[in-house]
């Protein structure tokens, strides 16, 4: 009995993945056709243009936990509410708790990476300041404090 449930779940998962593969294959064909149309149009205007010299743009990856601008807003709110300067990891831990995300290394590591990127960007804008503790840990605080 248990084996049939396992097999039926595996078959269900296989059907789901096969559907995704078909979807993405159709999407790839559509995009390849669009690319071909663009290449032909470029050659209409400049027949000698070397299309091999055009490098593909890399797509930026968004985190699955934050909407656009949400992480920065939460970082600034958390730093303002904190009574002392916080390390990047402590800040990430507070954001994970604030968002109600599962507490574990598979969530904390990418959130910490995102928080550190936000902090570096805010440091460049002069919105936050960074200082080092005696043990070498960087801590962050709003610039006005």
- State the pLDDT at residue 73: 96
* Sign, Cα dihedral of 66, 60, 113, 130: negative
Closest CA relative to residue 46, chosen from 34, 56, 54: 54
- State the pLDDT at residue 1: 58
pTM of the model: 0.58
Burial class (CB in 10 A: 0-12, 13-18, 19+), 26: exposed
- State the pLDDT at residue 50: 94
- State the pLDDT at residue 145: 62
- State the pLDDT at residue 105: 84
Per-residue pLDDT for the chain (145 aa), expressed as one digit of tens each?
Answer: 567 889 999 999 999 999 999 999 999 999 999 999 999 999 999 999 999 999 998 876 666 788 888 999 999 999 999 999 999 999 999 999 999 988 888 889 999 999 999 999 999 999 999 999 999 899 999 987 6
- Token pair for residue 59? 């797509």
- State the pLDDT at residue 3: 79
- Token pair for residue 113? 């990476």
């Amino acid at each position: 009995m248990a084996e049939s449930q396992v097999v039926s779940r595996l078959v269900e998962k296989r059907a789901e993945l096969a559907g995704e593969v078909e979807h993405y294959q159709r999407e790839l064909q559509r995009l390849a056709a669009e690319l071909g149309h663009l290449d032909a149009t470029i050659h209409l205007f400049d027949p000698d243009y070397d299309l091999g010299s055009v490098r593909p743009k890399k797509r930026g990856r968004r985190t699955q936990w934050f909407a656009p601008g949400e992480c920065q807003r939460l970082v600034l709110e958390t730093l303002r509410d904190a009574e002392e300067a916080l390390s990047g990891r402590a800040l990430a831990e507070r954001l994970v708790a604030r968002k109600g995300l599962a507490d574990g290394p598979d969530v904390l590591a990418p959130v910490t990476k995102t928080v550190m990127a936000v902090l570096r960007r805010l440091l460049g804008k002069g919105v936050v300041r960074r200082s080092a503790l005696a043990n070498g840990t960087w801590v962050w605080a709003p610039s006005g404090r």
